Structure 1
Amino acid sequence: MAEVKEQTHLQVIDKVLHEIAEDAQQRRSDNSNSRPYHAMNLIKQYKLGALQLPVAQGGKGYDIRQLFQFIVQLAEADSDVAHILRAHYGYVGQLLRENMDGQHNGLLARIAAGMIIGNAMTEISSHQVGGLVFNTKLTADEQDYRLNGVKYFSTGTLYADLVVVTASDVEEKPVAVIIPTNRSGITIEDDWDGIGQQLTGSGTTKFHDVIVSKNEVLKKLEGKTPFNAFPQLYLQAIVVGILKNIVNDSVALIQSRKRTFSFASAELPKQDPQLLQIIGELSSVSFAAQSMLLAAADTLNQANEAVQNGTIPYELSHQASLVTAQTKVIIDELALRAATKLFDVGGASATRKSAFLDRHWRNIRTLVSHNPAVYKARVIGDYEVNNKQLPIKEVYF
C-alpha cells in the first residue's frame, strides 16, 4: 500500500512539473512578461510547499537531498518558480528544527494546508548581508505591536500567503515576525529589474503601521548555531536545473538544424563530430554539477539530522558551509561557460530573441551573483592553509 501511495505522489510531481514547464514555455512563446501565478497555484493546490513536513503532519518527510532533487526538477521546468520558493523551504526547515514542545504546530498546519511563506529580510542600508541591525522597527501599541520599515529583494513575497519580516524590537534586539501578506499596511511592489530571474517578484516590500500580535513574533533561540549552508546551496540547485535545460535545448537545436557551416565536418549538424563533442561536454557538466550538489546535500542532511533543542552542532554546520562553498566555486564557473557554449551548437540563429536561449546565461549570472564565488574561494583557501574557519552568519530566524 505504501508503495502505491509513493507512486501516486511521484505521478503528481511529474504532472505538476509538466504543467509548470508548459506554462513557462507558453508565456515565452507569447513574448509575455506575465507572472507564474498558475505555477504557484499548482504548488499550493498540491501542497508541494509541505514536502519537508513529516507524514504525520501532512507532508512527505523529504530530507534535504530529496528536496534538492525536487528543486532541480522544478528549476528545469521554470527557474523563476524554484527561486520563488527558496525562502519558503528555508523557513519551513528552520521551523521544523526549532519546533520544541510543538510551539510551531499551528504554523506548520497552515503550511500543510498549502500556504507559502515569503521573505522581507534585506535592507539596502545594511552594511553587510546577514547583519542583525535593522531599520525596520517593531514598536509597542497597547496589547500588540506596530511594524514600520522597507525591505528589498523580497523574493517570492509577491506570490506568498505569509511573510517573515526581520526587524528590531522595542529593545533594539533582532526579531522576526510572520504575518499574512494581505494585512493592512503592507505594500508589495513588483519592481525587480534584474537581467535574470525576472519573474521572481524580488521587489520592494513596505510596512506602514502594520499590526502585529504578540503570537506572531518568532522568538530567537539563544545560542543556536546558524545554518546558512541551506539557502546558499539552494541557489546551486536552481543552477543545476538550468544546466539540465541547457542540455535539452542544445540537443533540440542540433536535431532541428539542417544548415551547417562552410568549415563543418559533416553535411548535417547532428552528424558533426565537433558539435556532438559540445553536446557531450554540456551533458558532462550537467552530470558533474548535479553530483556535486547531491554530495553537498548529504552533508547538509548530516547537520540537519544532528539537531538538538533547535541547535545544529557547530562542526557539522561548518562542514556543510565548507562543502557548499566548494560546490559553488566550481558550479558557478562551469555553468556560466555552459550557458555560453550552448550558442556554439546553434550558430547566429540561436541568438534570436524569440529563441529565448539567452535566458539561461542571464538567469545563471543573476543566481551566482549572490555571495560571489571569489569570496568563497578565499575563505576556503584560508581554511586549508591557516585552518581559519569559515564565517557562519545568521540567515533565518
Structure 2
Amino acid sequence: MSTATNYLSTPTADLDELRAHFAPVFAKIADGNLERERDRVFPHEQVTLLNEAGFGTLRIATDRGGWGASLQQVFLLLADLGTADANVAHIWRNHLAFVEDRLNATVSDANDTWIARFLDGQFVGGGWTEANNVTLANLVTTVQTDGDHFAVTGAKFYATGSLYADWLDVLGRGDDGELLTALVRADDPGVTLVDDWDGFGQRTTASGTARYESARAERGDVFPAAERFPYQGHFYQTAMLSVLTGITRAALRDGSAALTGRKRNYPQGLTEVPSDDAQLLAVIGEVSADAFAAEAALAQAGAALDRIHGGDRNAKRRLVDAEVAVTQAQLVIIAAALRATTTIFDALGASGVSVQRGLDRHWRNARTLASHNPRVYKARILGDYLINGKDPVSNLAALGRGGQGN
C-alpha cells in the first residue's frame, strides 16, 4: 500500500529519449506555423497532436502512466516546441502548471480523478487576471456555494489556452472571502469565451476574455488558492522563458536560411556572395550565442526548480535560490530573445522584411511574452538581495508572482 502524501516522485525520464519521442510531433507542428501566424489560424489540430503524444503527462510518474520527467526536462522540451511554434508552446503554460499543482496536492479521491483526467488527455486553460486594474486584493470574481456545488461568476482576461480547453482554471472569492481556485468545464452553459486578444504577438494563443455566469464547479474541483504549489509563480515564469528560448532559436534557424538563400550582396559587402561575407556570418554567430545563452539559462533555472523538492530542511533556502535563478534567467533570456530577433535582420537584405517570410513574428512574439512580467524591476531586486540580503520571495503573492507571473 502506498504511503505517498502527494503525487510527486523522483524523475526517471531521459531527455534524449523524450526528445526522440516528441521530435516528429514538433516537426508536424512546425510545418505550417508561418501560415497559421500570418492568417491567424488557431492550432486546434496541433494541440490535439501533443495531447495524443502525452505532452500533458510529462511530469506524471511512469508508474501512474506518465513520462516521469523533471522540471528541467519539461522546460527544455517546451523550448523545443517554442522553436516549432511559439503560439502552441504558450498555449500549454496553464495546463502544465495545473498538472504541477495537482502533483503537489495531497493524495485523495478527488486528486486521483484529476490525474486520471490528465492521462485521458483532458486539457486545462484559463486565467486568473481581471481587467480594469483589478488585483488579488480586490478580485471581484466569486466562487459561491450553491447547494451541492459551487457557482462561479466573473470575467477574466489573458485567458490563455481557453479555446482549446476542456477545463478552465478560475480564481475567485468564496463565501467568506477566501481565495479559491475553481475548475469549470469549458462547455458549461455559463461560460462564454471571447476571442478578443488584440496583442501584436502570440496572436493564436486564445488569450482573450472568459466570462462566467453561475458556471458550475463541483466540490472536488474547488481548492483553496493558498494551497497552490509554492513555486507556481516560478513555474509560470519559466514556462514563458521556455517559449522565449524557442523563439530565439527559431530566429536563428529562419535567419540562417534567409542568408543562405541570398544571391546578391550590397556594394559595401566583403564578397559577392552574402553567405561568404564575414560580417554577415558574424551576425549569425552572435545570434547563435544568444540562442546558446538562452538555453543555458533556461536549463539552470529548471535545475533550480527541481532542487526545490529536497524535503522540508532548507526549503526556504531552495525557494530563494530558485527565485534568484529564475530572475537571472529572465534577464538573460529576454535580452537574448529581443536582441536576436532584431539583430538577425542585419544579415539580410530588404527581402528579409517580406511579409511572406514572416520574420517579424519572432520579434513580435518575443516582445509580447517579455511584457508579461516586466524585467525592468528584476535587476534591482537581485542587487538588493545580493548586497543587502533582502528576501526576494517574501512578497511574491502581493506582487502577483504567487499567481501566473503576469
So what's the TM-score if we normalise by structure 2?
0.90
Distance in 2 (alpha carbons) for counterparts of 1:368 and 1:155: 15
Which of the numbers 4, 17, 36 marks the counterpart of 2:26? 17
What is the SS of the residue equivalent to 1:94?
helix
What residue in structure 1 maps to residue 202 of structure 2? 197
1:80 is aligned with what amino acid?
A: N
Flag the 1:77–1:98 CA change in 2: closer, same or farther, 3 A.
same
Deviation at 1:301, TM superposition (A): 0.6
Give 1:41's match in structure 2, choosing from 26, 48, 51. 48
Structure 2: which amino acid aligns with 1:347? G
Letter in 1 for 2:304: T
Contact 1:36-1:199 within 8 A present in 2 as well: yes
Shift of 1:242: 0.7
Q: Secondary structure at the match of 2:396?
A: coil
Shift in Å, 1:100? 3.3
Selected match of 2:290 from 265, 285, 288: 285
Distance 1:314 1:81 in 2: 34
**Separation in 2, partners of 1:184, 1:222:** 29
| Structure 1 residues not aligned, in runs of 5+ | none
In the alignment, does 2:244 pair up with 1:235?
no
The CA deviation string for residues 282-313 of structure 1, in whole angstroms up to 9 with x for no partner, is 1111111111110111101101x2256xx992
Q: Work out whether 1:370 is the aligned partner of 2:380.
A: no
Aligned to 2:304: 299
Q: What is residue 347 of structure 1 aligned with on the other side?
A: 349
Instruction: Report the equivalent of 2:383.
Output: 381
Distance 1:101 1:312, change over 3 A: farther
1:145 positional shift: 2.2
Deviates more, 1:143-152 or 1:362-371: 143-152
What corresponds to 2:396 in structure 1?
392
- Aligned position for 1:109: 116
CA distance in 1, matches of 2:388, 2:343: 37
Query: Which one is further off, 147-156 or 218-227?
Result: 218-227
Going from structure 1 to structure 2, the CA distance change for 1:55 and 1:151 (only over 3 Å counts) comes to: same
Instruction: Report SS of the residue matched to 1:353.
Output: coil
Aligned to 1:270: 275
Match among 109, 119, 130 for residue 123 of structure 1: 130
Question: Following the alignment from structure 1 to structure 2, what is the Cα–Cα distance between the partners of residues 224 and 34?
Answer: 34
Unaligned ranges ≥5, structure 2 = 1-11
Question: Residues 78-227 of structure 1 correspond to what in structure 2 (within 5 A)?
Answer: 78-101=85-108, 103-128=110-135, 131=136, 133-220=138-225, 225-227=230-232
SS state at 2:307 partner: helix
1:256 to 230, 244, 261: 261
- The alignment's C-alpha RMSD in Å is 2.2
AA at the equivalent of 1:259: R
Q: In 2, Cα distance between the equivalents of 1:12 and 1:385? A: 45
User: Is the 1:46–1:114 contact (alpha carbons within 8 Å) kept by the matching residues of 2?
Assistant: no
| 1:180 to partner: Cα distance | 1.4
Q: Distance in 2 between matches of 1:262 and 1:191?
A: 47
Deviation at 1:225, TM superposition (A): 3.9
Task: Give the aligned length.
Answer: 386
Specify whether residues 220 and 263 from structure 1 end up closer, same or farther in structure 2 by C-alpha distance, changes over 3 A only.
Answer: closer
CA contact under 8 A between 1:144 and 1:213: conserved in structure 2? yes
Instruction: Find the counterpart in structure 2 of residue 313 from structure 1.
Output: 315
Kindly state the Cα deviation for residue 188 of structure 1 after the two structures are TM-superposed: 0.7
8 Å Cα contact 1:87/1:155 also seen in 2: yes
Is 2:248–2:336's contact at 8 Å kept on the other side of the alignment? Answer: no
Q: Deviations over 1:245-279 (max 9, x none)?
A: 11111210111011110100001001000001111
Q: Which amino acid aligns with 1:181?
A: A
Say if 1:62 and 1:388 are closer, same or farther in 2 by CA, change over 3 A: same
Q: Does 1:324 align with 2:326?
A: yes
Q: CA deviation at 1:120?
A: 2.6
Compute the TM-score of the two structures, normalised by the length of structure 1: 0.92
Return the letter of the residue paired with 2:104.
Answer: R
What code does the residue aligned with 1:275 have?
Answer: L
